[in-house]
């Protein structure tokens, strides 16, 4: 799949296109933030927020610009917003209405889902323990406690799009661990 094709398909809400774009550009956005703030956890959180916001607003992307530049700009703005919030010590909570939440599609199973479910449970649990704790938690909530995205969002007190991107990233990392064996 070519990047422009993936962007177009993502605008049509194609989950595989979102996965492809996340794979291609994760390292660029994460690396940008890591150099900027020099904290792995914060860089990862901002990267997740970046993809969440970008995927939520993908229809506004203008093909006259480079997608990577658009993502980096979103990432930079999220970081600046976080710095402003810290500086002003004002907690601002942005929430989506329930109607917006129900418009998010949950297409399944992805190739990562199929690979994960094919594994023996004990071996899978050992592999899950190799992930960072917040990825372990989200996989536990989704696949072992079988919570919906909305329930996970409430449990973790995070926007639903962040939950989706974090879960997608956790599945990809887990699939990489499994493939290496």
Same domain membership, residue 13 and residue 67 = yes
Same domain, 11 and 44: yes
Residue 95 has pLDDT above 50, yes or no: no
Domain count for the chain: 2
93 in a domain, yes or no? no
Question: What is the domain-level CATH number for residue 84?
Answer: 1.10.1740.10
Written in H, E and C, the secondary structure of the chain is CCHHHHHHHHHCCCHHHHHHHHHHHHHHHHHHHHHHHCCHHHHHHHHHHHHHHHHHCHHHCCCCCCHHHHHHHHHHHHHHHHHHHHHHCCCCCCCCCHHHHHCCCCCCCCHHHHHHHHCCHHHHHHHHCCCCHHHHHHHHHHHHCCCCHHHHHHHHCCCHHHHHHHHHHHHHHHHHHHHHC
Supply the pLDDT for residue 92: 39
Residues 60-88: pLDDT tens digits? 998 888 999 999 999 999 998 888 877 76
pLDDT score of 90 more than 60 = no
What is the pLDDT of the chain when averaged over all its residues?
82
122-138: per-residue pLDDT in tens?
677 888 899 999 899 99
**Are 74 and 146 contained in the same domain?**
no
Q: Do 71 and 122 fall into the same domain?
A: no
């Amino acid at each position: 799949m070519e990047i422009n094709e993936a962007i177009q398909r993502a605008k049509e809400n194609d989950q595989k296109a979102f996965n492809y774009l996340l794979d291609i550009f994760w390292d660029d956005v994460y690396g940008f933030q890591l150099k900027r703030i020099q904290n792995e956890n914060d860089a990862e959180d901002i990267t997740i927020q970046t993809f969440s916001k970008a995927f939520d607003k993908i229809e506004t992307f203008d093909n006259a610009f480079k997608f990577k530049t658009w993502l980096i700009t979103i990432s930079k703005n999220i970081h600046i917003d976080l710095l402003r919030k810290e500086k002003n010590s004002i907690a601002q909570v942005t929430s989506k209405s329930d109607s917006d939440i129900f418009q998010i599609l949950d297409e399944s199973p992805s190739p990562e889902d199929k690979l994960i479910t094919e594994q023996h449970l004990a071996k899978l649990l050992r592999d899950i323990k190799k992930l960072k704790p917040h990825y372990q938690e989200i996989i536990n909530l989704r696949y072992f406690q079988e919570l919906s995205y909305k329930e996970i969002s409430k449990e973790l007190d995070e926007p639903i799009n962040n939950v989706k991107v974090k879960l997608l990233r956790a599945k990809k990392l887990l699939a990489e661990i499994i493939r290496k064996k």
